[in-house]
Structure 1
Amino acid sequence: MSREIIIAPSILAADFSRLGEEIAGIDAAGADWIHCDVMDGHFVPNISFGADVIKAIRPVTSKIFDVHLMIAPVDPYLEAFAKAGADVITVHAEAGPHLDRSLQAIRALGKKAGVSLCPATPEAAIEYVLDRLDLVLVMTVNPGFGGQSFLESQIEKIRSIRKMIGDRPIRLEVDGGVTRDNAAAVAAAGADTLVAGSAVFRGKSTADYADNIAAIRAAAAVGRVPELQHGSAQAMRSSGTARLR
């Protein structure tokens, strides 16, 4: 299923001393979603922010809040993030023993449910929860810090998960080291939602952010050209078959 490319800047790379202004800036610059990386210093080796910060910045924009919980345990905090204004809540397959239960809880809170996989976690970990999902997030760096380099080993995982998803209405998101230089490869592998932090917040103005977002989006579009051509060819064949009938 071919879906429009979503660009979700990660506010982990923003200037936290003026976080509201930064979010308003990427909103005006063309961000589709706002990606919020929540780290607990336990599941990952860093601490970022919690539900109170998300609640404080929620009035700044009407864009989708894509909240990525890199915390363990996760279940006790789902309601707090839902109430704070998250639209999509993504938990890690590695963060607890009962992934299916966590996904059910997110859905019960009225939110979209996502699952994330660390680089060493195989795609088989989500095989039996696919029908609970609205989003799969492939980590293309080891979670915990912004500004890391993209792990090329994850391209094949992205491609494999795209096949697993099939026609299900599930977004395939990639987070970690995404730039204008690798966005084409990521999109070609099947990703339709790209998280970018440092690559978006490079520069000091909304105009800079807009240029960065546009460059990533354009690169991703180039990567999808073979997919779109394949889709057009299939449509033409179907049309021809219909006429023959």
Structure 2
Amino acid sequence: MKKIICPSMMCANFDSLKEEVAKLDMAGIDIFHIDIMDGIFVPNFGMGLQDIQCIRKNTEKLIDVHLMIENPGNYIDLFAKLGVDIIYIHPEADKHPARTIEKIKAASKAAGIAINPGTSVETIEELLPMIDYLMAMTVNPGFAGQKYLNFVDNKIKKLVRLKKDYGFKVMVDGAISSEKINELSKLGVDGFILGTSSLFGKNEDYKTIIERLKK
């Protein structure tokens, strides 16, 4: 099964974002992952609109935005117009997540939901027929450099079983090491958001790392 590799651009070198995009693109990544935070849903602030514009201008690869913000339905048109391809929302942050997912689809974008470590599958199961991607957070969202929460593995196993019925792709985000990629891909996980645990800040070039991870 082909692994979908998604660099978390929050961890990139912002002294030369354009060059980072080019290096990652040439290295064979699949989706550029952009974290958007509002300081309310999570206690941090993420990337900005200008960062999305820069990445979009310099790659033809898919771009996703992970909206860690309250009331994401108010901002779907804004992000769609910036040229992203996939929009993730947190159902925990939206009073009417089904309506917001419909809004994403109406904008001709792929719809994803992201769920926190403490969010059960049962609370979002009704949304599964509507989505293209489901991203299981394996750390509490908001900050890079956290430890992987092993108890989420049971939830991931449930999601892999459910994807056979609904057709969405299962993604994971948070402290994803090369060992975790190997372990979770065997369970049936499709895609991996990569930060400092396996991609950024290493002594090897991106191409070498990504070729090894895809194997």
Amino acid at match of 1:33: I
**Aligned match for 2:140, one of 142, 153, 159:** 142
- Residue in 2 that maps onto 1:242: none
Q: Secondary structure at the match of 1:173?
A: strand
- Residue in 2 that maps onto 1:175: 173
CA drift at 1:160: 0.4
**Aligned match for 2:195, one of 197, 202, 205:** 197
Question: Within 2, Cα distance between the matches of 1:49 and 1:25?
Answer: 19
Question: Within 1, Cα distance between the matches of 2:79 and 2:179?
Answer: 33
- List gaps (5 residues or longer) in structure 1: 219-245
CA drift at 1:167: 4.0
Alignment of 1:24 with 2:14, yes or no, is no
Amino acid at match of 2:136: V
Question: Within 1, Cα distance between the matches of 2:78 and 2:106?
Answer: 13
- List gaps (5 residues or longer) in structure 2: none
Q: Secondary structure at the match of 2:205?
A: helix
**Aligned match for 2:101, one of 103, 106, 119:** 103
- Residue in 1 that maps onto 2:62: 64
Identity of aligned residues (%): 38
Question: Within 2, Cα distance between the matches of 1:214 and 1:155?
Answer: 25
| Count of matched residue pairs | 214
Alignment of 1:212 with 2:209, yes or no, is yes
- Please list, as runs of the form range in 1=range in 2, the aligned pairs for 1:152-171 lying within 5 A after superposition: 152-171=150-169
Question: Within 1, Cα distance between the matches of 2:145 and 2:24?
Answer: 18
The C-alpha deviation readout for 1:44-80, integer Å capped at 9, x for no partner, is 1110123332123211110000211111121111111
The C-alpha deviation readout for 1:172-206, integer Å capped at 9, x for no partner, is 100000011211121122211111011212336xx
CA drift at 1:159: 0.6
Contact 1:155 1:189 in 2 (8 A): no
Contact 2:4 2:30 in 1 (8 A): yes
Question: Within 2, Cα distance between the matches of 1:153 and 1:189?
Answer: 15
**Aligned match for 1:88, one of 65, 82, 86:** 86
CA drift at 1:215: 2.6
Q: Secondary structure at the match of 1:166?
A: helix
Amino acid at match of 1:217: K
TM-score by length of 1: 0.83
Question: Within 2, Cα distance between the matches of 1:16 and 1:154?
Answer: 31
Alignment of 1:34 with 2:32, yes or no, is yes
Q: Secondary structure at the match of 1:7?
A: strand
Which of structures 1 and 2 has the bigger CA Rg?
1
TM-score by length of 2: 0.95
Question: Within 2, Cα distance between the matches of 1:98 and 1:50?
Answer: 25
